[in-house]
Amino acid sequence: MVSLVQAPSMPPTLPQKSLKRDASHLSSPAPESSQSKKLRVAFDDRVDVRIMDDWTAKPLDLVKDEVRSALEGHLRPAADKDDGAYEQLRMVFISAAPSRSHDNGAVSSYTEAPSTALLKKYLVALSGRVSDLKACGKLVHAVLDVNWLGRDDAFVALYVRFLGTLGSAVPGFLRTVLDRIVGHFVEVSSSLGRIPNEPYVPRQQMVARLHNALRYLLRLIPSANSALAESLRGQFPNHRTASRQGYIAFVKNSLKTIEYAPELKAEIQTLITERLVKIDVEVQEELDDLEDEVDEHRVLGLSGLSEAKEDADDSDDDSDADSDSSSEISMTPEENHLRALRDTVAKLDSVLDLLFSHYTPTFASGKMYEVNDAFEHLISQFSTFVLPTYRSRHTQFLVFHFAQMSQAYAERFAGVLLRLATGRSSASNGSLSAAAYLASFIARGARVNKTLIRSIFTRLGNHLDTLRRNYESACQGPNLSRYGTFYAIAQAMLYIFCFRWRDVIMTPDDADVEDYDIFEEGEPEWLPGIKECLTQAIYSKLNPLKVCAPAIVHQFGAIANHLRFMYVIPLLETNKRLRLSSFRSLAAPASRDMGAARRENTLSHQSGEAHHQLDAFFPFDPYQLPKSKKWLEGDYRVWKGVPGMQDDDDDEEDDSSDDEDEEEDEFGDIGDDPEYESE
């Protein structure tokens, strides 16, 4: 390599041979010549030429002079600006990037990338002139594009220090620096660790270097915390376009930053949950559009999903686990759509698994301040993102699981839902859904104790009675749009009764009810006031059994009749002759329930007469995601039939041998059973 240095104007005291070569070699390589042919040169006494065997041998002082000259030339006034040396300096760093091409299309003129040792010298030189880089955006971007992850430890340390110096001295570049680092959260290609003439660096080590760099910057620069939060939000991948590996890797790396940036814990957890809910809703909408239930089961992974290639950070294989071009060629558009949907479900499943893994150590630590803080944050996320979203199906199981870690948390979660469902703003957005969430939590939570069940059931009954007395005098017939809150509370009580009737039977010493003892002592003694409350509500002009979801009404009627709690079969027969649409235009909506009127489309997604009835929306119904469902073992109460009562379509005693899960799934999907649609 040849380096040109301007000699002093004073003539040398001794004769000195100098060489001056044509500068055309800077734009294109010279043609190959035979070994016997000597290099033709021109001589110039003003130029001192030193022949170097390797770029590494270039002295640091010389590199500093080059950098100084390049920056000074670039920073001169427009009339005197000289960017020749500046562009050559940029090319040094462009040559060290994973790709030789730059954003403006320029390509490095070097036949070989500079060595790590030479790059260190350029970094040292730039570090000494960081304040000059404010107006050198293209050069800074070239430096930030350098492949630093795959070089030796000394270079990495120097590079990270340079990033810190740059971010501190020129705050305008801090976000760009963080974006470059966070951009690797999606993928760290194993090829970055295979730089020629450099020791191989495995992927895991490169990922660790990313986090070490962030840790250093956050410790050095006070404003880096907020900038990193913005960068994570801005760089968060689109679940429709990102690969499964890349999406999961980004979430995993984002969660890892909490270890050294606890100040960002709430923001990072919230960001991930917010994006997760969007995926959850999208998946549910897609599943609702599937014509075949078998397709839904295939999409949700009951036929099996490969997890072997999800952990991109743990492997040095760059093959994309999501690509299978050979099979895509032969797929129909419908099959490709189903495959893409299955891939989205896999992302949803894996991110939920990561979140369960993320929160579990905190709850297991026993540090009550941290545990309480984590639980309150889960409730906040639930209230902000999940509760107002009617179609969420899986994200809510995070709070479902951790609320059952103690009775105090179960009471706290149930209390939040109860206040939303029965408070003064009970007709506002989210509150009607809160009644469904509360009913589903009480019904399905395996670790919810009898005391809480009875307390919630009693308080719901009291509120239902209050609403009945407020509405009944002016009521001319059942009307979902006018009395939505009343029907939501009534349906919640019916659903809880179907699952928890054993817990609302009073026994001596408050002992658990055994199925074989139900009729031994004669008429069961029910929780005080409940039977009267439900009877008055059901036989009122509000007629909740006509408006509540037919599947739940049918099940409640059968159980209540069998247990001698209430006999409603004649009322159900009468209701078949009622048309809810005839009551709709009788009067303007009641002022107190205007919110319910505005949310009628949320309360019911049916058409025709069923549009005037509530959906059977109970959000803690069966959880089917294959990878993350392991976290819910022991949390979930499956449907348990009533002793001595058989379903209408049971023809054989042998049917009772069906496994419990099938019974549970059947009740969980009861709202979609066409047998129970309104006539």
Of all helices (H) and strands (E), which one includes residue 3?
strand 2-6
Q: At what angle do helices 484-500 and 550-562 cross, to 10 degrees?
A: 50
| pLDDT given at position 578 | 75
Residues ≥6 apart with Cβ < 8 Å to 336:
328
Q: What are phi and psi of 592, to 5 degrees?
A: -70, -25
* The predicted structure's pLDDT at residue 119: 96
Cβ neighbours for 151, distance < 8 A, ≥ 6 positions apart: 116, 119, 159, 195, 198, 201
DSSP-derived 3-state class of residue 42: strand
What is the model's pLDDT at position 217? Answer: 98
pLDDT value of residue 423: 83
240, 236, 279, 278: which is closest to 257 by C-alpha? 236
Exposure on the CB side of residue 180, measured as CA atoms within 13 A? 20
Residues above pLDDT 90, as percent of the chain: 60
Length of the chain: 679
Residue 276 in contact with residue 348, Cβ under 8 Å? yes
Which residues are CB-contacts of 427 (< 8 A; sequence separation ≥ 6)?
Answer: 484, 485, 592, 593, 594, 595, 596
Amino acid type, 609? E
Give the tokens for residue 423: 């408070």
157-160: long-range contacts, CB 8 A cutoff, minimum separation 24: 158/120, 158/123, 158/124, 159/123, 160/212, 160/213, 160/216, 160/217
Residue 510's pLDDT is what? 72
pLDDT less than 70: residues of the chain: 1-56, 99-112, 291-329, 425-429, 513-521, 579-610, 647-679
Q: 634 with 446: CB under 8 angstroms?
A: yes
Task: Please tell me the predicted confidence (pLDDT) of residue 57.
Answer: 73
- Are residues 613 and 549 in contact, defined by beta-carbon separation less than 8 angstroms? yes
Find out whether 618 and 498 touch, Cβ atoms under 8 Å.
no
Inter-residue contact 393 to 296 (CB < 8 Å)? no
- Secondary-structure percent of the chain, ordered helix, strand, coil, rounded to 5: 60, 5, 35
Closest of 544, 542, 504, 509 to residue 524, by C-alpha: 504
Tell me how far the alpha carbon of residue 115 is from its chain's centroid. Answer: 41
pLDDT at 201: 97
Please give the model's pTM, rounded to 2 decimal places.
0.82
- Residues 385, 267 contacting (CB under 8 angstroms): no
Residues 496-516 have pLDDT tens digits of 999 999 999 988 777 776 665
Model pLDDT, residue 608: 54
Of 2, 180, 212, nearest to 97 by C-alpha is: 180
Note the pLDDT of residue 247: 98
In terms of Cα–Cα distance, which of 141, 259, 160, 167 is closest to 209? 160
